[in-house]
């Protein structure tokens, strides 16, 4: 078993009437860049939720968001942490771009979770190192855009969407692109 000591600093708290998002980070980017990313997440998040409602993603969770407060955790981290998480929880070697740890979407007893007034959807870990390496190969994609795309991807997983078929993959990409087009217009 791999031990993991997480030491993330709190970067921002974002709140909507029915959802809160806590953002944390390792020492992966300068503070000003983390604040810029937080502002982009703050812009992308309500757009994602609007599109999620249009696409009926809430139904996948059998969720009535009018009566619940949803919580999400976002962590900007590095390849070392991602490699450890990937090995421990997925038994895969090496780092990856995004890992999502869902609580509600994968709950064995969703009724138990649904009885709570506050629902913790889960955590999204995104490797800034991985993103920087990925955009080095495609320099026309800004780091911020890549990271926000990974955030939206993680949110889709928290809402129970997977991309294990071509049809589902296309839906994931379509939703990601809709959010990105609105954020980066």
How confident is the prediction for the chain on average, in pLDDT?
85
Tell how strand 98-102 and strand 118-127 pair up: antiparallel
Decide which of 53 and 149 is more confident: 149
The mean pLDDT value for 150-167 works out to 90
Domain assignment of residue 31, yes or no: yes
- pLDDT at residue 64 tops 90: no
Is 2 part of any domain? no
Q: Does residue 4 lie within any of the structural domains?
A: no
Specify if 3 maps to a domain.
no
Residue 106 belongs to some domain of the structure: yes
Write down the pLDDT at residue 3.
Answer: 44
Q: What is the structure's pLDDT at 107?
A: 66
Task: Tell me whether residue 82 is in a domain.
Answer: yes
Residue 46 phi/psi, 5-degree rounding, is -65, -35
pLDDT of the residue at 29: 85
Q: How many domains does the chain have?
A: 1
The answer to whether residue 1 sits within a structural domain is no
The predicted structure's pLDDT at residue 62: 57
User: Residue 61 pLDDT more than 80?
Assistant: no
CA–CA gap between residue 171 and residue 75 (Å, rounded):
25
- Contact in structure between 73 and 19 (CB atoms under 8 Å): no
- Domain ranges, residue 80: 9-183
Q: What is the pLDDT of residue 65?
A: 55
Indicate the helix (H) or strand (E) that contains 123: strand 118-127
- Chain segment 116-156, per-residue pLDDT in tens: 777 788 899 999 999 999 998 887 889 999 999 999 999 99
Answer yes or no: is 101 within a domain: yes
Kindly state the average pLDDT of the residues 54-83.
78
Task: Check pLDDT > 80 for residue 86.
Answer: yes
Give the CATH number of the domain where residue 30 resides: 3.40.390.30
* Residue 11 phi, psi dihedral angles, 5° rounding: -105, -45
Q: Are 158 and 105 in contact (CB under 8 A)?
A: yes
pLDDT tens per residue across span 2-23: 345 566 788 888 888 778 889 9
Instruction: Give the pLDDT score at 1.
Output: 33
């Amino acid at each position: 078993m791999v031990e993991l000591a997480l030491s993330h600093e709190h970067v921002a708290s974002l709140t909507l009437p029915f959802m809160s998002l806590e953002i944390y980070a390792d020492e992966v980017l300068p503070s000003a860049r983390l604040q810029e990313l937080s502002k982009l997440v703050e812009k992308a998040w309500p757009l994602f939720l609007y599109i999620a409602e249009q696409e009926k993603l809430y139904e996948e969770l059998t969720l009535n968001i009018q009566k619940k407060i949803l919580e999400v955790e976002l962590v900007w981290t590095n390849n070392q942490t991602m490699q450890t998480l990937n090995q421990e929880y997925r038994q895969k070697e090496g780092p990856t771009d995004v890992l999502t740890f869902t609580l509600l979407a994968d709950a064995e007893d969703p009724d138990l979770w649904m009885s709570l007034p506050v629902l913790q959807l889960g955590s999204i870990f995104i490797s800034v190192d991985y993103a920087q390496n990925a955009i080095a190969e495609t320099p026309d994609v800004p780091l911020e855009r890549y990271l926000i795309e990974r955030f939206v991807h993680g949110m889709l997983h928290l809402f129970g969407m997977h991309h294990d078929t071509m049809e589902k993959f296309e839906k994931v990409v379509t939703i990601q692109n809709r959010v990105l087009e609105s954020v980066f217009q």
